[in-house]
Amino acid sequence: MSLDADTIVVGAGIVGAACAHALAASGQRVLVLDDLRGGATAAGMGHLVVMDDNAAELALSSLSLRLWQQWSTQLDSDSAWHPCGTLWLAANAEEMQAAEEKQARLQAQNVACTLVDAVRLQSMEPALRSGLHGALHVQHDAVVYAPNVAQWLLLGPTAPAHLQLRHAKVVAIEEPHVRLADGSVLRAQAVVLANGLHATDLCPDLPIRAKKGQLLITDRYPGTVHHQLVELGYVTSAHHATGPSVAFNVQPRPTGQLLIGSSREFDDTSRTLNFPMLEQMLRRAVDYLPGLRDCNAIRSWTGVRAATPDGLPILGPHPTRAGLWLAVGHEGLGVTTAPASAQILAAQMTGAACPIDPSPYRAERFSQTTLHHAG
């Protein structure tokens, strides 16, 4: 029986696109299917940031930033690559101590970063309120416009041969084949599930939970902010929170607009804005950047992150469904971690050497409690 592709990838967000690109680059015939409903890639902030909540997250994100540097030399201008770096802001002595500890962890992974005192911080970002204690400057963090990078990976001049994108909704995976909404079946040797939050529609045993976020973008105010600004309290106030939370997170877009985040609400997949939460988020932003009070807001929107219980993505074979591979659960860091995720997945599928230890990201870590073949 003839095959439609060696591998079918379900989902053309940044993760599916990166996986498809990596597999096709290894010589496979890859077919990407996307139903155009859109996902987190189109809704997110596109901040490429080394995160270090745990060793596995640091390994994945620091490798990814190195891969992004390689991509950056080829990206087109629509990708809006902007190597602005990140300033992790310390509001008090305790957070300055956290900045020093973060610096030690990042430098152990050869991530370039320097501590900045209050005076230097004020000269780097004069729009910040006075009284901050300093910051950690992570030089090689950057920002992109992720939906256009996904397009570039699939359709741009560097897209490998034998990489095809088709608009179709997958309604079932009969590994290693897929059934489409029109009843037809496409055949392959392997299927990669990379459809973000909707992974559980096709693989209900995955431990994925929705974490909604809101963003707001302003009119153009070039030169107001120069780096992505994130409060160091972000890790405690938002990233690890178990209930609704907000944190100060502002990104200078190459257009001069300011993209303001961030918020987190669990188990809400609706697209509606939560105005009290938005107000809380903006109050926090104005607290750090008082001049924002006078800026015009143009648009606000929501997106939903696909979160696993430990915050790490699931990359590798499904434990019991032979022929089904998983690249899901990238939560709030999937734009950053897409390149390394793709390398890790492709290496496991093709038998190539993995660039880092893949075991922290494999689905088996959940198999005792949550993951089984739902049949």
Ligand X SMILES: Cc1cc2nc3c(=O)[nH]c(=O)nc-3n(C[C@H](O)[C@H](O)[C@H](O)COP(=O)(O)OP(=O)(O)OC[C@H]3O[C@@H](n4cnc5c(N)ncnc54)[C@H](O)[C@@H]3O)c2cc1C
Which positions touch ligand X (CB under 6 A)? 10-16, 33-41, 43-47, 169-170, 194-198, 201, 213, 215, 303-305, 330-336
CA-CA distance, 292 to 150, in Å (whole number)?
A: 31
Closest CB to ligand X among 215 and 345? 215
Closest CB to ligand X among 94 and 174? 174
Element of type H or E holding 280: helix 275-288
CA-CA distance, 138 to 141, in Å (whole number)?
A: 6
Shortest spacing between CB 242 and ligand X, in angstroms: 18
By the 10 Å C-beta count (0-12 exposed, 13-18 middle, 19+ buried), 76 is classed as middle
CA-CA distance, 9 to 325, in Å (whole number)?
A: 9
Shortest spacing between CB 188 and ligand X, in angstroms: 14
DSSP state of 82: B
C-alpha 97: how far from chain center = 27
Task: Let me know: does 197 contact 208? Beta carbons within 8 Å.
Answer: yes
Shortest spacing between CB 238 and ligand X, in angstroms: 11
Closest CB to ligand X among 56 and 304? 304
Shortest spacing between CB 358 and ligand X, in angstroms: 17
Closest CB to ligand X among 166 and 226? 166
Shortest spacing between CB 94 and ligand X, in angstroms: 25
Shortest spacing between CB 373 and ligand X, in angstroms: 19
Residue whose C-alpha is closest to residue 175's, from 317, 21, 35, 358: 317
Closest CB to ligand X among 25 and 115? 25
Shortest spacing between CB 115 and ligand X, in angstroms: 23
Residue whose C-alpha is closest to residue 243's, from 271, 263, 262, 273: 263
Ramachandran bin of 27, using left for φ above 0, alpha for ψ from -120 to 50, beta for the remaining angles:
left
Closest CB to ligand X among 16 and 319? 16
Closest CB to ligand X among 61 and 96? 61
CA dihedral 5, 12, 314, 241 (to 10 degrees): -170
Closest CB to ligand X among 16 and 134? 16
Positive/negative CA dihedral, 35, 36, 41, 44: negative
**Residue whose CB is nearest to ligand X in the complex, by number:** 39
Closest CB to ligand X among 83 and 118? 83
Kindly state the tokens that stand for 264. 């987190």
By the 10 Å C-beta count (0-12 exposed, 13-18 middle, 19+ buried), 299 is classed as exposed
CA-CA distance, 212 to 269, in Å (whole number)?
A: 7
Shortest spacing between CB 211 and ligand X, in angstroms: 8
CA-CA distance, 284 to 290, in Å (whole number)?
A: 10
Kindly state the tokens that stand for 114. 């320097």
Shortest spacing between CB 360 and ligand X, in angstroms: 17
